[in-house]
Chain A
Amino acid sequence: MNSQLSRLISRILPPLTLFEWGGLLTYFCLSHRISAFLHPVFRPLVLVAGVLLLLSAGCVAWFGGSAGAFDCTCSQARSISSPWRSLLVFAILTLPIAGAAALSPDTFSNAFIESRGLAFSPRGALPGPEASQKTAAAFVPIPASQQPRSVSMLDLMLAAQDDWCQKDFMDRPLEIIGRYYPDNPHYFGLISTLITCCAVDAQTLAIRVDTQSAPDLEKLAWVRVVGTVRFDQSDGSTVPILTAASVTPINSPADPYIYRPTGPTRQARPAHH
C-alpha cells in the first residue's frame, strides 16, 4: 500500500507542483494582476518563466516514469522520503503561493504605505511654510482652453534636480494623480508609491500641494490635482511644490504605482532650450 502510494506520489507531485507554479505565473501575467507586484521590465520574464515551467511540468510528467537520475532508489533517501513527508514538502511548495495568490489585494494597505515613511524631500519631511515665502503661492485660475499636461510625481522630483528641466514644467497647468495626505490647513501631501523592482522595495514619495482651503477628503483617498508647479529650496535641496487650482477625488487607478525608469533617470533637456 505504502509502495503504491509512493509510486503514485512520485509520478504526480513533481509535475503537479511545477504546473501550479507555472500556471500561477502565467495567470498573473495574462490577467495583468502582475502590475500590482512588479516593475514592467520584469513582467515578460515572469510570463516566460511561467510558460517554461508549464512545459517543464509536461516534460517531467511525460518522462518522469522512466528509471532515471531522479527516481529515489537509495536506501538513505527512502528512509527520509516517506509518502507523508513527500506530501508535506508538496504542501509547503504549493499551499503558501496559492494562498497568497487568493488573499493578496492589488495594492498594499494604507497602514503599510504610511509605515514606509513619507519621502517628501531628501530630508524626509514635508517642506514647511518657509518654502512658500520664497516664491509667493499664486492661485491663478487655469483657462479652460489650456489643457493640463499629465505628469507623474517622479517627473517633478527628477526635474527638481535640473534647472533646465524645471523650466519645462513651470508656467503651465499640470495634472497629477496621487493620494491625499492631510498635513496643514493650507497645504497637503500628495503621495505616490514608487517601485524600483518589485512591491517589496516600495518607497512612498510625496510632494506638497498648496491649497486655499483643505479638501474634505479621507486620508489617502485618490485625487487628481490640477495646478502649477514651482521649485523651492527646502533644507538645502530643491523640491517641487504644487499650487492647486482644483483637487478632484477619483477612483483608484488600475495601476497604483509609479515606476523608476530603467534607463538614465536624469530627464533629457527640452529641445527648445
Chain B
Amino acid sequence: MHWFTFNLQDFSVAFLSILFEGVPFMFIGTLISGFVDAFVSPETLTKIQPRSPLAAIALSGVLGVVFPMCECGVIPVIQRMIRKGLPVSCALTYLLAAPIVNPIVALSTFAAFRGQSPALVMSLRLGMGFAVAVVCGLVIQALPVSKILNKAMLAPQPSRRLSMGARLSPLPPTDGAPEEFPAPASFGSKVIAAIRCASFDFLDVGFYLIIGAAIASFFNTAIHRDAIAPLAGHSLLATASMMALALMLSLCSTSDAFVAASFTGFPLTAKLAFMVFGPMMDMKLLFMYCMVFRKRFTAFFALALFLLVGAVSLGVGLLLK
C-alpha cells in the first residue's frame, strides 16, 4: 500500500480550506482582542476573577459554554487577556477547554456518534476535555511565568511591537519619546484603536496560521489514513496513532468527531484521545502557541499533553470495560 503521495494541487485545496475555515473565526477573535484592549482595563479584569485560584481555573474550564470559541479564534483573545492581567493558568485552561467544552462541539459529537452510544461519547469527550484542561491549568499555576511566556509577552506592553504585525512596521524612533501607548480618549478613537489593534493581531496570528496550515495540509493530503489501520487492534498503539493523526490532520473541533467516528475499527478510547487531543494541539496550533508561549515550553507542553490525554483515554477505557 502506498502510504505517502504528494500532489501540489491537493495541497493547495487543503491549505486554502484550512485558511478559509479558520480566518473568519480568527478575525472574530482578533476583533474581540482589539475591543478588550481598548475598552477593558486590567483592573476590571482583576475584579471579575474569582479569588480562589482553583475556582478561577475551574471557571475558565467551563467558560466555553458561555463564550464558545474555536481553537483559531481563542489564541488572540487569551494573548490579550494575559496582557491585561489574566493569570496564565486561567488563560491556558480556557485555551484548552473552550474548543471542546462548548455546546456546538457537544451537538456535533452527539450527531457523529449516533448509533454508537452518542450520549456517552459526548459526555466523555467534554468531561475529559475539561479535566485535562483543569489539570494543565493547575500544573501551570505552579510554574514561574518566565518559564512559560515568550519574551514579547513578558515585556511591558509596548514591546508587542515585536509581533509579526509590528515587524511589518519597522519605523525608526522619531523623538526618543517614552514608549507609552497613547490612551484613546473618545469612544470613536477607542473604536479606531480597537480596529487597528485587531488588524495587527490578525497579522500576528495569520503568520503562524500560514505556517501551521501549510504543514497540516502537507500531512493531511500526503499521508493515507489507511496507513494506521493495522494498529487498530492494539489499544495503546491505536490511541497513540490516533493522537498523532489528530496532530497531523489539524481538523476543526466541530468536524473532527465525524472523522473519528469513521474509524470504525478503532476502540472508543482511541477515538476519544483523537477528539480531546486534536483541538488542544495540532500542527497549526503548535505554531500559533508560539505567539504566546516560549518555544521550549510549547514543545514540552505538546509532549506532556500527548502523554496526559493518552493516559486519561486508556484509563477511561479500562473503566468502561
Binding site for B on A (CB under 8 A): 3, 6-7, 9-10, 13-14, 17-18, 21, 25, 28, 34, 36-38, 42, 45-46, 48-49, 52-53, 56-57, 59-60, 63-64, 67-78, 80-83, 85-86, 89-90, 92-93, 96-97, 99-101, 103-105, 107-109, 111-112, 115-117, 119, 122-124, 161, 196-201, 203, 260, 264-266
**Interface residue ranges of B1-48 to A (CB < 8 Å):** 5, 7-21, 23-25, 27, 31
Q: Cβ of B207 and Cβ of A9 under 8 Å apart?
A: no
11 contacts between A and B (CB under 8 A): A10-B171, A49-B23, A59-B199, A73-B161, A74-B161, A81-B166, A82-B170, A93-B164, A112-B7, A198-B255, A201-B255
For B19, the chain A residues whose CB sits under 8 A away are: 97, 100
Q: Cβ of A107 and Cβ of B168 under 8 Å apart?
A: no
B62 within 8 A of partner (CB): no
With A93-B206, A109-B7 as contacts: A197 and B21 at CB distance below 8 Å: yes
Residue of B16, B181, B200 with most chain A CB atoms under a 10 A cut-off: B16
Binding site for A on B (CB under 8 A): 5, 7-21, 23-25, 27, 31, 111, 114-115, 155, 158-162, 164-174, 177, 179, 181-182, 192-193, 195-200, 202-203, 206-207, 210-211, 214, 216-217, 220-221, 224-226, 249-252, 254-256, 258-259, 262, 264-265
- Choose among B159, B197, B225 the residue that contacts A116 (Cβ–Cβ < 8 A): B225
Interface of A is mostly: helix
Q: Cβ of A6 and Cβ of B171 under 8 Å apart?
A: yes
With A10-B170, A109-B7 as contacts: A89 and B164 at CB distance below 8 Å: yes
Q: Cβ of A9 and Cβ of B170 under 8 Å apart?
A: yes
Q: Cβ of A25 and Cβ of B23 under 8 Å apart?
A: yes
Q: Cβ of A115 and Cβ of B225 under 8 Å apart?
A: yes
With A21-B23, A93-B207, A200-B217 as contacts: A85 and B167 at CB distance below 8 Å: yes
State in angstroms the CA–CA spacing of A119 and B259 once bound together.
11
Q: Cβ of A6 and Cβ of B170 under 8 Å apart?
A: yes
State in angstroms the CA–CA spacing of A100 and B12 once bound together.
5
State in angstroms the CA–CA spacing of A149 and B10 once bound together.
33
Chain A: CB-nearest residue to B2? A115
- Choose among A14, A75, A97 the residue that contacts B199 (Cβ–Cβ < 8 A): A14
Chain A: CB-nearest residue to B22? A198
B22 CB to nearest A CB, Å: 9
- Choose among A74, A83, A100 the residue that contacts B159 (Cβ–Cβ < 8 A): A74
State in angstroms the CA–CA spacing of A28 and B24 once bound together.
14
State in angstroms the CA–CA spacing of A11 and B158 once bound together.
19
Q: Cβ of A73 and Cβ of B195 under 8 Å apart?
A: no
With A14-B203, A109-B10, A200-B251 as contacts: A77 and B172 at CB distance below 8 Å: no
For A72, the chain B residues whose CB sits under 8 A away are: 161, 166-167, 169-171
For B165, the chain A residues whose CB sits under 8 A away are: 14, 70
For A77, the chain B residues whose CB sits under 8 A away are: 159, 161-162, 166-167, 170
State in angstroms the CA–CA spacing of A57 and B111 once bound together.
40
Q: Cβ of A201 and Cβ of B259 under 8 Å apart?
A: yes
Q: Cβ of A89 and Cβ of B167 under 8 Å apart?
A: yes
Chain A: CB-nearest residue to B158? A74
Residue of A46, A70, A82, A197 with most chain B CB atoms under a 10 A cut-off: A70
For B210, the chain A residues whose CB sits under 8 A away are: 92-93, 96-97
- Choose among B13, B170, B195, B250 the residue that contacts A56 (Cβ–Cβ < 8 A): B195
For A6, the chain B residues whose CB sits under 8 A away are: 170-172
Q: Cβ of B196 and Cβ of A13 under 8 Å apart?
A: no
B109 CB to nearest A CB, Å: 12
- Choose among B16, B169, B173, B226 the residue that contacts A100 (Cβ–Cβ < 8 A): B16
For B179, the chain A residues whose CB sits under 8 A away are: 73-74
A173 CB to nearest B CB, Å: 29
Chain B: CB-nearest residue to A83? B170
For A37, the chain B residues whose CB sits under 8 A away are: 13, 16-17, 20-21
